[in-house]
Structure 1
Amino acid sequence: MTLKKYGFLATLALTAMLAACGDKEEAMESKQPAESSTSEVQTTAEEKIVTDQLGREVTVPGKIERVVTGGILPYFSTWYVATNSTKEIVGMHPNSYNAAKNSILAKISPDVLKAETSFIQNGEVNVEELMKVNPQLYVEIATDENSINKITEAGIPVVAVKAIDAAAAEPLATFNSWLTLTSQMAGTTERADRFLEEGKKVQAELDTKLKDVATQDKPRALILFMHNDKSITVGGKNFFGNQWLNATGAVDVAENDVQGKKEVNMEQIYAWNPDIIYITNFTETQPADLLENKVNGQDWSQIKAVQEGKVYKIPLGIYRWFPPSGDAPLMLKWMAQKNHPTQFDYKIEDEIKTYYKDFYEFDVTDEEIHSILNPSSDAAKY
């Protein structure tokens, strides 16, 4: 396989990810990060030492063949991006598994569906069940100290990964740090470089087209993170959605009122009155639920975005596009086009087809592209 130089974005405002520590959907997206460390010291052919994102030196096998991923929900897809394989993923969080089952990755690399999930019980890691999976390496969200400690005490190397780089002004900063660390552990830096460079390229293209757009000409957008008839949770500053919006030429209506994510009421939604509403894949709500005013006790018909039909479900490709994923350059293109359709006049279906062929060596069908762009509510269940 010939690998070209490509890669991922390192200049956006995405502060990546759902922190599934405690509540499963959250853990990936709403934790505040510190700087990630990617230094590595080679020891022997049988093992190496990596510095994880808590600054701990962790000894890992020189050849990693059995990986389990916990509350850092999207991480399994990062492993695929870095290595072109999922056969090493022998266990993952049930919420991750559900996303994988409903993703195109299940077709590209069906080994991902062989992963065990039974070691997560009542939201916690059951060490006895985990030992049955026989992992060489466990990857956990950096904020879950309890899981990190008890798994380490069981003799399993644990690499801690931060869910979101809130300090960075780029949406891909978090994913890039994961990809770099993973490529060091797996010894696959050339593949990772392709993605990192592609990200930079796409962001530069967006920046060029958006540099002269005045703030008053940018759409005012809202990220609906979690939603049902009893609760409305939105994303704001220092959260993935805020970075995506900033990077693609939109104004985040919640930016000055919400740090991370926050539950709000309809009165607040009316006050913001966004031009566009984006719905994540961490909730079962679909655009039609708002557009057709189907939600009991909530009247969305008064909102400008609903009145103008500008309510969109964020896609799901090899993973959910809201947190960091290998499809991040596509997320940038998709959202930029929704925010500024006249300036970004490409056909997003063609962009997806080309990207999947170039980076995943996969010929995605028109039907599969439709599924990526219109993910089902099932993908949010766990």
Structure 2
Amino acid sequence: MKKYGYLATLALTAMLTACGSQEGESVSKPSAESSKSEVQTTVEEKVVTDQLGREVTVPGSIERVVTGGILPYFSTWYVATNSTKEIVGMHPNSFNAAKNSILAKISPDVLKANTSFVQNGEVNVEELMKINPQLYVEIATDENSINKITEAGIPVVAVKAIDAAAAEPLATFNSWLTLTSQITGTTDRADRFLEEGKKVQAELDDKLKDVATQDKPRAMILHMHNDKSITVGGKNFFGNQWLNATGAIDVAENDVNGRKEVNMEQIYAWNPDIIYITNFTETQPEDLLKNKVNGQDWSQVKAVQEGKVYKIPLGIYRWFPPSGDAPLMLKWLAQKNHPALFDYKIEEEIKAYYKNFYEFDISDKEINSILNPSSDAAKY
């Protein structure tokens, strides 16, 4: 079972590029009155530079953090600090992923987080103040939330969603860990994580270096999906990085930048060999394999015909965006793309990783739940 180990994170470079970056103002410190009545901070403070380049004054010791539209960040905090007790509030979408994740068993404090401050998709500052956060973490593109929470006297750290300039998929998560280490002052476990990520990518690169382009599977990431809409990921999005890093060709790379809604005619034109379905949609592989989606005929697609439709796993968080399970995502994808090259048992890889990095003895049943996540994880 879980044993809390040495607190940790890292110190690298904090950079990311995402949609809609902006010049930011320095976060103003709360007045003496408001800090006493609303936002409790310690006497000691530090200044960190967030991913909009703003200098933000934060408490030297943080015990109450709220995370907003940067949905995976709560799990980054856990990877960095080995704790979720500081996460006192999070976006409902994040909470639903947490509730359906292994993190809920490893660090059950995560389920104590309050979600009431998000109402109708927006932050209600009055409800947020009731949670009494010392720090709020928000996606860098949500200028409205950043400004109104800052004006309320709460330090806001902006985090970018993806390092689109980097060719490798770990860059985003690594940058989040870097920033978290500056906030918390922790180092050890994140250093180990970075080393593991580099090692895994190097192993993949070595085995994939001689694979000819024509021998790489053509894959598609189905990001959001229902009977009325099909949204895929393409260039400058996580899926493109994952596929490139694991020996596949992204069929949408030349047609889609970021995410885009497409129709079945476009899917037919791409005709992918493999389809990966994220955890941001309730759609399961069998919905396509059994052609159960009204108004959409998936039976003509090669991936469906050959049974190569896979739901992306969910461990301590969804594996599609940045998470502490990123080295496992690399191994899982590489094996799906090139099963003859990567003959390890992914169940054993998960078991060893969770023991080594999270000090958690994961059961076979829990591993199965990671590899076959419920549709419930996408509901919010």
Query: Would you say same fold, with TM above 0.5?
Result: yes
2-structure distance, mates of 1:335, 1:186? 32
Give 1:31 deviation, angstroms.
Answer: 3.1
Match of 1:23 in 2: none
Change (3 A) 1:223 1:333: same
Seen in structure 2, the aligned counterparts of structure 1 residues 296 and 319 have a Cα distance that, compared at 3 Å, is same
Query: Which residue type is aligned with residue 368 of structure 1?
Result: E
Residue identity matched to 1:306: V
The TM-score normalised by the length of structure 1 is 0.90
* Residues 104, 318 of structure 1: 8 Å contact kept: yes
Q: 1:141-187, CA deviations, whole angstroms, 9 ceiling, x for partnerless residues?
A: 01111111111111100000001111111101111000011011111
Instruction: Report what 2:56 is aligned to.
Output: 58
Asked if residue 139 in structure 1 is aligned to residue 127 in structure 2, the reply is: no
**Which residue is equivalent to 1:47?**
45
In angstroms, what is the RMSD of aligned CA positions?
2.2
Match of 2:351 among 345, 350, 353: 353
Corresponding residue for residue 179 of structure 1: 177
Cα distance between partner residues in 2 of 1:337 and 1:139 = 35
Do the aligned residues in 2 keep the contact of 1:33 with 1:165 (CA within 8 Å)? no
Q: 1:252 aligns with which of 245, 250, 257?
A: 250
Corresponding residue of 2:103: 105
Q: Secondary structure at the match of 1:256?
A: coil
CA separation of 1:169/1:62 partners in 2, compared to 1, >3 Å: closer, same or farther? same
Which letter maps to 1:118?
S
User: Is the CA contact (8 Å cut-off) linking 1:87 and 1:112 kept in structure 2?
Assistant: yes
Amino acid aligned to 1:325: S
- Where does structure 2 lack aligned partners over 5 or more consecutive residues? 24-41
- Corresponding residue of 2:266: 268
Q: Which residue of 2 aligns with 1:223?
A: 221
Instruction: Provide the C-alpha distance between the structure 1 equivalents of 2:46 and 2:248, rounded to a whole number of angstroms.
Output: 44
Maintained 8 Å contact 1:67/1:91: yes
- Which residue matches 1:238? 236
| 2:369 is the counterpart of 1:371 | yes
Q: Distance in 1 between matches of 2:94 and 2:159?
A: 15
Q: Report if aligned partners of 1:238, 1:259 keep a CA contact under 8 Å in 2.
A: yes
Moved more, 179-188 or 238-247: 179-188
CA distance, structure 2, for counterparts of residue 137 and residue 3 of structure 1: 23
Runs of 4 or more consecutive aligned structure 1 residues displaced over 4 Å after TM superposition: 1-10, 32-35
Aligned to 1:300: 298
Secondary structure of 1:107's match? Answer: helix
TM-score by length of 2: 0.90
Residue number in structure 2 paired with 1:190: 188
The one-letter code sitting in structure 2 at the alignment partner of 1:216 is Q
Aligned to 1:285: 283
Task: Give the equivalent residue in structure 2 for 1:201.
Answer: 199
**Displacement after TM superposition at 1:4 (Å):** 12
Give the alignment partner of residue 213 of structure 1, picking from 211, 214, 230. 211
Q: Is the 8 A contact 2:71 2:93 kept in 1?
A: yes
What secondary structure sits across from 2:341 in the alignment?
coil
- Answer with 1 or 2: which has the greater Rg: 2
SS of match in other structure, 2:52: coil
What is the rounded CA distance, in whole Å, between the counterparts of 1:144 and 1:220 in structure 2?
A: 34
Which residue of the partner structure matches residue 167 of structure 1?
A: 165
Contact 1:32 1:163 in 2 (8 A): no
Q: Which moved more, 1:102-111 or 1:193-202?
A: 193-202
- 1:135 deviates by 0.2
Q: Is the 8 A contact 1:7 1:200 kept in 2?
A: no
1-structure distance, mates of 2:10, 2:260: 33
Counterpart for residue 19 of structure 1: none
How many positions carry a matched residue from both structures? 357
